[in-house]
A and B are shown apart, each in its own frame.
Chain A
């Protein structure tokens, strides 16, 4: 007898218990990654600029995230007297929450057997997984806009307006580049997409898995660039361009509310890295179908891919200067969008011909 998939109907107590454990573990891993991403970014950029980065707190500054956290906790919480209170308080939450709940649909391993049931290593497998991610990625913009507007300061407002224009334009390119993936996978579930990427490459090469980065290199590049633009990372960090807008949309924030914006930035980075890994780089599956690689558990591969992508984002930040606003818009609408559309048409043609 093959074991049943654990669900709310066949064993409610176990289901809820295991779900809570999964939630807790994933949340802890994401939060720790967020904390150490800040340290890592300072170290990586420091070494790339021939500096050392943080060195004082702990061995090579390893305790720096905690020191920063404690410092921010004890800072005075300031709400500017001319700020509009409710949106001002809501904005930091509205930017962090969409980033965190997106992680729920990312699979981090194969199904494992516990007792009589199969347990999927994924918080929830939605059959509209990718749409769910796109929907919540679009909600992140509320935080930026509300923060920018409710602070009642010109720098914040300019930052918020830039953020909206940028996110709306690049959301299209990101969404269209993923459509090419659906056309190949014929499923919207991230679990299904990962499963398909474990097959042989183009059905011939048996030890290289069928990662979509090999079939869809253009979509991969478009998704990466659009993803970077959507999470406002350098070179697309126009909303918080510190040389012109002080600190952009979060200029008026202080203490933990300011820290929430930073946590959201790194959480978004993790989400984009995890999505890239899941959609294009085979998710939790090993890069080569040989025994030494497939023995290593799936979540380690996923984490390795996520951290590698994040390292690339930091590398990009150390390499490229910030783009100008008109360049940003021209790139989004006149280059990325037509390329993404062309990619969709091309993929459709190839799929039809190969049938």
Chain B
């Protein structure tokens, strides 16, 4: 049951990922990417990580893609980039084939050891996924968490400085 569902969602994810690179209009590509994010969110739910799924949709589909869509619309790339580029197809397909072979080789080489970590589906069910992440962030990973917030603050200030001509 679950494996059938997984394959269905995976199929949609792969198809929408394909549409991202094959659509003529950049807006349609962006919509395909949003759909891919949705499928990823479904995978997070299937992996007992509902918090990650919600954040995936909120941050990627709800915020970042809206901004990307906004930029594409304002620049109106749809009319300018209509002609196809074909010169790179041979080399890029060769390169991606090599990467695929590489991936399959490494995945096949590994062995499933069956070692279980501290965080089990049972623990997530009983304690709560959000609570676990929150606790880890504010105890074990407090320093990286704070550093990330400072980096983001620097980026925000930088964006304001860049956007404003005369400070």
- Residue positions of A touching B, CB distance < 8 A: 84, 86-87, 90, 126-128, 131-132, 134-136, 138-139, 141-142, 145-146, 149-150, 157, 160-161, 164, 168, 171, 188
Contact B69 A84 (CB under 8 A): no
Q: B35-70, CB under 8 A of A: which get 1 and which 0?
A: 000000000000000110111011001110010011
In the complex, the answer to whether B61 meets A139 with C-beta atoms within 8 Å is: yes
Q: Which residue of B lies closest to A188 (CB)?
A: B130
The CA-CA distance from A160 to B66 in the complex, in Å, is: 12
* A139 & B130 in contact (Cβ 8 Å cutoff): no
Contacts of B9 in A (CB 8 A): none
Q: Which residues of A contact B34 (CB under 8 A)?
A: 142
Q: A84-B25, A87-B31, A90-B31 are contacts. A145–B57 as well, Cβ < 8 Å?
A: no
Out of B31, B57, B66, B74, which one reaches A168, CB within 8 Å?
B66
Evaluate contact between B28 and A141: CB separation under 8 angstroms.
no
How far is A87 from B62 in the complex, measured between Cα atoms in Å?
17
Q: 6 A-B contacts, Cβ less than 8 Å apart?
A: A84-B78, A86-B28, A87-B31, A131-B58, A131-B130, A138-B66
| Residue total for B at the interface (Cβ-Cβ under 8 A) | 24
Please report whether the interface of chain B is mostly helix, strand, loop or mixed according to DSSP: helix
Asked whether any CB of chain A lies closer than 8 Å to the CB of B73, the reply is: yes
Residue of A nearest to B78 (CB): A84
Provide the residues of chain B in CB contact with A150, threshold 8 Å.
27
Task: Assess whether A132 is in contact with B62, with CB atoms less than 8 Å apart.
Answer: no
Task: Tell me if A138 and B27 are in contact (CB < 8 A).
Answer: no
Asked whether B17 is an interface residue with its Cβ less than 8 Å from the other chain, the reply is no
A87: which B residues are within 8 A, CB to CB? 27-28, 31
Contact present for B58 and A168 (CB under 8 Å): no
Q: How far is the CB of A336 from chain B (nearest CB, A)?
A: 18
> Which residue in A86, A131, A157 is a CB contact (below 8 Å) of B54?
A131
Chain A residues contacting B128 (CB-CB under 8 Å) are: 127
